[in-house]
């Protein structure tokens, strides 16, 4: 996706992408970070924040999951906090019945300043504090968001997962340098599938995101990737036997000492 400041338009596009993925056989669909709102100003998400359990973005996720009979994970939804200047950036998962399965609040907040780029999520986001994973028919699924990718201790804290989701809006600068490396490293370290849905393109506010949504297997092989900018769908299979085989042949997780 290349989300902008119009929530209704963003949700319309997200709905079409979820429908296509479902037609292509997806049992779980992951939408990118800021799928519902990536406005001209960082404060726009605060102005459009939703109360937990209410609002257009949460209703959309529940409805999409129920209509298609799949698990839908919304990369991030701005949720109201006690601080009027900040939101929680919540990754929300909904089951085939439309009921919410899990909520993860982004723990690691992005700050980056280089060559004219200046980002500081701490100005508008209140950090979360707890790792979150949930059980799905195809195994345990861990939730992380974007900048969390740089902190391997969070992935260890999730415990054994069959799949870890990484909805993202990596800048072009940081993505071009580190995106593939970090995703493959997290997959190899934890011997799990890693699914990353990313914003990709030039947004209305001038921000350029890296894209390259992809699925990586437990051996670090890229199963599927979208190299083009703009909205699109990446579909790949997560094979529990592949996870078991990698962990059996190289039981690194049981070799940990520290």
CATH of the domain at 83: 3.60.110.10
In this structure, is residue 19 part of a structural domain?
A: yes
pLDDT at 137: 85
Pair type for strands 200-202 and 208-210: antiparallel
Tens of pLDDT, residue by residue over 38-76, are 999 999 999 999 999 999 999 999 999 999 999 999 999
User: What parts of the chain have a pLDDT lower than 70?
Assistant: none
Closest by Cα among 191, 185, 70 to 138:
70
In this structure, is residue 1 part of a structural domain?
A: no
Q: Which residue has the tokens 């699925």?
A: 215
Integer CA distances (angstroms), 75 to 57, 103, 239, in order: 11, 10, 23
In this structure, is residue 257 part of a structural domain?
A: no
Say how many domains are in the chain: 1
Tens of pLDDT, residue by residue over 226-244, are 999 999 999 999 999 999 9
212 touches 181 (CB < 8 A): no
How are the residues of the chain apportioned to helix, strand and coil, as percentages rounded to the nearest 5?
30, 25, 40
Determine the Cα–Cα distance for residues 95 and 93; give it in Å rounded to an integer: 7
Q: Which residue has the tokens 């030039």?
A: 202
Q: Which residue has the tokens 């290349």?
A: 2
In this structure, is residue 258 part of a structural domain?
A: no
pLDDT at 117: 84
In this structure, is residue 156 part of a structural domain?
A: yes
pLDDT at 127: 99
Domain of 234, in residue numbers:
7-250
190 touches 156 (CB < 8 A): yes
Catalytic residue from among 45, 91, 106, 161: 106
Q: Does 153 qualify as catalytic in the annotation?
A: no
Question: CB count, 10 Å around CB of 138?
Answer: 16
163 touches 196 (CB < 8 A): no
In this structure, is residue 79 part of a structural domain?
A: yes
In this structure, is residue 2 part of a structural domain?
A: no
Q: Does 146 qualify as catalytic in the annotation?
A: yes
Q: How many helices (H) and strands (E) does the chain have?
A: 6, 14
Q: Which residue has the tokens 């519902």?
A: 36
Catalytic residue from among 33, 50, 121, 126: 33
201 touches 229 (CB < 8 A): yes
pTM: 0.97
Q: Within the chain, where are the H helices?
A: 7-23, 44-47, 56-68, 152-157, 172-190, 240-249
In this structure, is residue 255 part of a structural domain?
A: no
Q: Does 106 qualify as catalytic in the annotation?
A: yes
- For 90, phi then psi, to 5°, come to -105, 125
Tokens of 51: 């109360």
Q: Diameter of the chain by CA atoms?
A: 51
Catalytic residue from among 45, 91, 121, 146: 146
pLDDT at 138: 84
């Amino acid at each position: 996706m290349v989300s902008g400041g119009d929530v209704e338009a963003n949700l319309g596009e997200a709905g079409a992408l979820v429908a296509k993925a479902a037609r292509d056989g997806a049992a779980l669909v992951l939408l990118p970070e800021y799928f519902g709102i990536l406005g001209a100003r960082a404060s726009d998400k605060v102005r459009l924040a939703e109360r937990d359990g209410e609002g257009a973005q949460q209703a959309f996720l529940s409805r999409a999951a129920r209509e298609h009979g799949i698990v839908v994970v919304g990369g991030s939804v701005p949720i109201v906090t006690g601080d009027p200047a900040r939101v929680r950036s919540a990754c929300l998962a909904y089951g085939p019945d439309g009921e919410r399965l899990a909520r993860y609040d982004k723990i690691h907040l992005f700050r980056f300043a280089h060559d004219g780029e200046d980002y500081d999520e701490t100005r508008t986001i209140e950090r979360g504090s707890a790792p979150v994973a949930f059980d799905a028919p195809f195994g345990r699924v861990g939730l992380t968001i974007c900048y969390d990718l740089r902190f391997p201790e969070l992935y260890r804290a999730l415990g054994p997962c069959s799949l870890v989701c990484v909805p993202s809006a990596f800048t072009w600068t940081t993505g071009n340098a580190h995106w593939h490396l970090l995703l493959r490293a997290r997959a190899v370290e934890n011997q799990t599938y890693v699914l990353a849905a990313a914003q990709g393109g030039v947004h209305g506010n001038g921000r350029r995101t890296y894209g390259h949504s992809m699925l990586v297997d437990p051996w670090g092989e890229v199963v599927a990737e979208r190299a083009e900018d703009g909205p699109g769908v990446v579909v790949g299979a997560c094979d529990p036997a592949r996870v078991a085989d990698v962990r059996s042949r190289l039981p690194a997780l049981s070799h940990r000492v520290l």
